[in-house]
Chains A and B, each alone.
Chain A
Amino acid sequence: MASRFWTWLHKKGSPPVFYDMADRWAPWLGWLSLIAIAVGLFGGLVLAPTDYQQGDSYRIIYIHVPSAWMSMFVYMFMASMAAVGIVWRLKIADAMALTAAPIGAMFTAVALTSGAIWGKPTWGTYWVWDARLTSELILLFLYLGYIALYNAIEDERTAARAAGILALVGVVNIPIIHFSVEWWHSLHQGPIEINLTEKSSLQPSMLWPLLTTMAGFQMLFFWALLRRTQTLVLTKEIAAKWVKRLMESKA
């Protein structure tokens, strides 16, 4: 059983097998994500009714909440790939962790900026040191640290493992950071009551576009991840036999 698992893992993790699999999945993910995002945004920006409390400003939710969700999901994904890379020495896992980092940083940046812009009309200020905003900002720093460390170390395998250790330490820390920031915020009795992003308060006509864009963001992430990892694998293995065969089959 165990040995079968090993063969399965290494087969799936071998660059040519991964490349073929990615080629099969990526087009579906790409097109479906575009459709989902388009439909979701149409539903959110056009069909959904105006909120009686916040007016139309709530419509930022359709990019803000999916981005915020993805910023955390991508970090978890990156850390688990880093763990797989460290434990089983799978090159593909290392490559995926490296590819995921800038994408996650982008989602975090979008969540932060859209949140700040949303804050102006609803709270009257772009930035408050609210618990959620603060932990999101720290998450951005964690991403940037991971990328900086990966790029600073020349040897690729050392870089992958060092950055992987950092990602794992970060993942242990994220709940603690979040908890501490929540506690800190409750200590201060922040000036603003935030009950806007609670999904339960959304009506169905406002909720389905949100869920649709979330699914779209998720699929777009996996599309970009697969395509970028393919590119990375090709650059690294440019002299390998399977790449040559691939070129011949495409020509």
Chain B
Amino acid sequence: MDSLMNWFAMNGYGSYIWTAYALWALGFAWLIGGTLLGRKRVWAQLGDQQRRNALKAAQGDNEQRNSEQS
């Protein structure tokens, strides 16, 4: 435990080092998170569109059948 705290303190430079690394982590979180989020969003959008198309196709079929019957 002591050795961990010792390491964390970095001989007095801990606050500088960890601030720099925190800012870096923020930048990389934006990079990775933004990439994955954008990907998720576009797939959701594509799924919506596919479902809408399927619905429309089914509706079209129904209408066609109705008009054929009448």
Which residues of A line the B interface, CB within 8 A? 46, 50, 55-57, 59-60, 63-64, 67, 103, 106-107, 109-110, 113-114, 117-118, 120-121, 220, 223-224, 227-228, 230-231, 234-235, 238, 243-244, 247, 251
**Contact flag A227-B35 (CB < 8 Å), given A109-B27, A238-B46:** yes
- Apart from the given pairs A59-B10, A224-B31, A247-B46, 10 other A-B contacts in the complex at a CB distance below 8 Å: A57-B10, A60-B16, A107-B27, A109-B27, A110-B27, A114-B24, A120-B16, A227-B39, A228-B34, A231-B38
Kindly list chain B residues whose C-beta atoms are within 8 Å of the C-beta of A228.
34-35, 38
Please report whether the interface of chain B is mostly helix, strand, loop or mixed according to DSSP. Answer: helix
Kindly list chain B residues whose C-beta atoms are within 8 Å of the C-beta of A234.
42, 46
Determine if B16 and A57 form an interchain contact, defined as CB atoms under 8 angstroms apart.
yes
> How many whole Å from A157's CB to the nearest CB in chain B?
21
Determine if A231 and B27 form an interchain contact, defined as CB atoms under 8 angstroms apart.
no
Nearest B residue (CB) for A224: B35
Complex CA distance for A158 and B17, rounded to whole angstroms: 44
Complex CA distance for A57 and B38, rounded to whole angstroms: 36
Kindly list chain B residues whose C-beta atoms are within 8 Å of the C-beta of A243.
46
> How many whole Å from B13's CB to the nearest CB in chain A?
4
**Contact flag A114-B20 (CB < 8 Å), given A46-B7, A224-B31:** yes
Size class of the B contact interface (CB-based, 8 Å): 20 to 34
Complex CA distance for A227 and B46, rounded to whole angstroms: 16
Nearest A residue (CB) for B47: A247
Can you list 14 A-B contacts (CB < 8 A)?
A46-B7, A50-B11, A60-B16, A60-B21, A63-B24, A103-B31, A109-B27, A114-B24, A117-B16, A117-B23, A121-B16, A224-B32, A244-B50, A247-B50
> How many whole Å from B5's CB to the nearest CB in chain A?
14
Which residues of B line the A interface, CB within 8 A? 7, 10-14, 16-17, 19-21, 23-24, 27-28, 30-32, 34-36, 38-39, 41-42, 45-47, 49-50
Kindly list chain B residues whose C-beta atoms are within 8 Å of the C-beta of A224.
31-32, 35
Nearest A residue (CB) for B19: A117
Nearest A residue (CB) for B32: A224
Kindly list chain A residues whose C-beta atoms are within 8 Å of the C-beta of B50.
244, 247, 251
Determine if B23 and A110 form an interchain contact, defined as CB atoms under 8 angstroms apart.
yes
> How many whole Å from B18's CB to the nearest CB in chain A?
10
**Contact flag A118-B35 (CB < 8 Å), given A56-B11, A67-B24, A234-B42:** no
Kindly list chain B residues whose C-beta atoms are within 8 Å of the C-beta of A120.
16
Kindly list chain A residues whose C-beta atoms are within 8 Å of the C-beta of B32.
220, 224
Kindly list chain B residues whose C-beta atoms are within 8 Å of the C-beta of A118.
16, 20
> How many whole Å from B50's CB to the nearest CB in chain A?
5
Q: Which of B19, B27, B34, B50 has the most CB of A within 10 A?
A: B27
Nearest B residue (CB) for A34: B32
> How many whole Å from A70's CB to the nearest CB in chain B?
11
Kindly list chain A residues whose C-beta atoms are within 8 Å of the C-beta of B11.
50, 55-56
